[in-house]
Amino acid sequence: MADPALVILYVNDVARSAAFYEALLGAAPAEASPGFAMFPRAGGMGIGLWARDGVEPGPGPVGGSELAFAVADVDATHAEWLRRGFVIALPPTEMDFGRCCVALDPDGHRLRAFTPAAT
């Protein structure tokens, strides 16, 4: 079986979501149209934003997906997300796997910043 190449998030407004992810990722989409935008990432995996009204078969409810980002400092990431006006769903919290915080993108998809617990 081939390795996954793209995570696709279904969004209400591709341009709005693309602007959000461009600011979050610090890079413009490599491909953009009114119905789709794609952000290639290191290691070959990409993030696609697809207009929910153009998806076949039609998607379920908005949101519900999560992108997790390994970061060196969860508290600094949380502070940066607050500065940018992101909606915070979970402030910095210790969990079984390590420290994390969660923000939401414009469509309610979760963005989890985490630092694994020391082993």
Tens-binned pLDDT, residue by residue, of the chain (119 aa): 567 789 999 999 999 999 999 999 999 999 999 999 999 988 888 999 999 988 888 777 766 788 999 999 999 999 999 999 999 999 999 999 999 999 999 999 999 999 998 87
Fold of 63-119: 2,3-Dihydroxybiphenyl 1,2-Dioxygenase; domain 1 (3.10.180)
Q: Range(s) for CATH 3.30.720.120 in the chain?
A: 1-61
Other CB atoms within 10 A of residue 59 CB: 15
The pTM of this model reads 0.85
Enter the tokens of residue 98: 């390590």
21 pairs with which residues across the strands?
Answer: none
CATH class (in words) of the domain with range 1-61: alpha beta
Q: What is the pLDDT of residue 93?
A: 96
- Rounded CA gap, 84 and 72, in Å? 19
Q: What is the pLDDT of residue 56?
A: 81
Q: What is the pLDDT of residue 7?
A: 92
